Structure 1
């Protein structure tokens, strides 16, 4: 088990990178604490698998170092790093039984037979594989085979970390929640560092204690699920996390007032005069924007109202700008004219995509 440090890490797949856009992974400085459960979250092509492969030793970084505890492992091959990696698709030996598959990593390291047997039984119980231990893997479903892959990653008690590269891709949707919950239970039981790569925000937010959000080869924010939702440090985080994502509206800001077209929105923090060259935007999540009858707030035009089961979401336009708002119980709109009530405590101001802190004015800041 280990603390993993990424020290000025960057990687380019071309031989002579010169500009930031030449790098598939822009510079990262980060520490993964021993025993933490982390998720690398972002869309396809954002650099998360490249970063995982650098940690595992499958890719050597263009520059920077990887340290396990205080040991520099940058030039060590994968087999010398004492990590386990679980991939998108199951990697199992079809001709072996489930028991033999789970025992294989321990037998390779000449672990005593009794110790191996106990460990295999323990992991089988955690993954609900006990009833199929003596069946050949070839006769099992893709779901069960991926459980075996997970088990082979977990069976070694001495690994520095376990790296998961979108391990639930082949799992039926109704079983994904169960397996994520199982992984959380295993993490708590085994106290091992786990790093989980996914493009699925639900997987990331329900598995990880800390989520690393990546965009265009860069880490744009690291935080708890609550921090990412409540205070996105970048407009990409606000848009990517949440369903629907954060409303992002071009605006002009003067002191404690934001102007979205001809509409004025009061702010709970004062903002410096932002440069004319800055791209200034206002961000607020739909959960903090409530649809109201006409005349009870900021005027909008209603385009449609979607019932998503757990809530109703209104799709509206404010000065020609689309945004989403929650529809409180008991609110029904007749026609296409309505209003919005915005909670100023949850309004954020961004310049060129980055959160602007603002200055407190006596209230609770946005």
Structure 2
């Protein structure tokens, strides 16, 4: 088990990078604590797999260092880092039984037989593989084979970290929740450092204690799932986290008031130091924007209302800009005119995508 330090880490696949645009992974400085459950979350091509491969030793960074418990491992091969990695698709020995697959990493390290038996049975039980322990892997479904891959990564208790690269891609949808729950339980029980790469926000937010959101090769925010939802540090985080994502609307800010095409919205704080020439936007999540009757709150036009069962979401326009809002139970709207009530403490102001703190720390 190890803490992992990323020290001025950056990587470019071209041999002569000349600027930030040439880097797949832009400079990162971060410390991941020992025993933490982390998720690298972002769209395809944002750099998360590159970062994972640098941690595992499959890629050597262009600049910077990576340290395990303060030890520089930047140029050490994968086998010298004492990590386990689980890939997107199953990696198993088809001619071995499930039991032999799970035991293989322990036998290679000459773990006593009694400890191997105990550990294999524990991991098999947690991954629902006990009933197939003595079956050949080649006869199993893709779901079961990926469970074996997960088990081989988890069976060792002495690893510095376990790295998961979108490990549930081939898993049947109805089993994904079960496996995420099993991984979370194993993390709590084993106190291992786990890093989980995914583009699926549900996977990231249910697995990780700390989520690292990446966009265009950069880390745009690191925080708990609650922090990412309530206080997005960047408009990309607001868009990417949540369903539907945060409303982001172009605005002009004067004092404690934002104006969207002349429509005034009261702000909880003043913003006297917004950078001149910056793109200014107002962000508020649909969960904190509630539809009301026309003549109250911010005037909006209702385009449609989607009934999602447990809640209703209104698709609206504010001064011609598309947005979404929640519809309270029992509210009926006649025509397309309505109002919008915003929760003041959940209105955020952004300059060129980055969240700006107002006076008073809002």
The aligned length equals 362
Deviations 1:129-188 (A, max 9, x none): 111100111111111111100000011111000000000000111111110000000000
SS in 2 for 1:61: coil
Tell me the residue number matched to 2:341.
341
SS in 1 for 2:267: strand
Between 56-65 and 123-132, the greater mean CA deviation after superposition: 123-132
Deviations 1:180-221 (A, max 9, x none): 000000000100000000000000000000000000000000
The separation in 1 between residues aligned to 2:113 and 2:330, in whole angstroms, is 65
Tell me the residue number matched to 1:258.
258
Tell me the residue number matched to 2:90.
90
Tell me the residue number matched to 1:308.
308
1:275 deviates by 3.9
CA RMSD of superposed structures (Å): 0.9
1:299 deviates by 1.1
Contact 2:290 2:327 in 1 (8 A): yes
The separation in 2 between residues aligned to 1:137 and 1:355, in whole angstroms, is 50
Deviations 1:45-75 (A, max 9, x none): 0000000000000000000001000110001
Tell me the residue number matched to 1:122.
122
The separation in 1 between residues aligned to 2:105 and 2:275, in whole angstroms, is 59
Contact 1:97 1:134 in 2 (8 A): yes
The separation in 2 between residues aligned to 1:86 and 1:309, in whole angstroms, is 37
The separation in 2 between residues aligned to 1:135 and 1:40, in whole angstroms, is 34
The separation in 1 between residues aligned to 2:274 and 2:231, in whole angstroms, is 20
The separation in 2 between residues aligned to 1:245 and 1:322, in whole angstroms, is 12
The separation in 2 between residues aligned to 1:61 and 1:326, in whole angstroms, is 45
Question: 1:129-140 residue pairs with structure 2 within 5 A?
Answer: 129-140=129-140
The separation in 2 between residues aligned to 1:351 and 1:263, in whole angstroms, is 19
Contact 2:55 2:66 in 1 (8 A): yes
- Unaligned stretches of 5+ in structure 1? none
The separation in 2 between residues aligned to 1:222 and 1:337, in whole angstroms, is 39
TM-score where L is the length of structure 2: 0.99
Between 127-136 and 207-216, the greater mean CA deviation after superposition: 127-136
Q: 1:297 to 1:278 in 2, by over 3 A?
A: same
Tell me the residue number matched to 1:35.
35
Between 97-106 and 269-278, the greater mean CA deviation after superposition: 269-278
Between 34-43 and 306-315, the greater mean CA deviation after superposition: 306-315
Are 2:153 and 1:186 aligned? no
The separation in 2 between residues aligned to 1:356 and 1:70, in whole angstroms, is 34
- Unaligned stretches of 5+ in structure 2? none
1:273 deviates by 4.8
Tell me the residue number matched to 1:321.
321
- Runs (4 or more) in structure 1 with deviation over 4 Å come to none
Between 58-67 and 273-282, the greater mean CA deviation after superposition: 273-282
Are 2:220 and 1:220 aligned? yes
Contact 2:275 2:351 in 1 (8 A): no
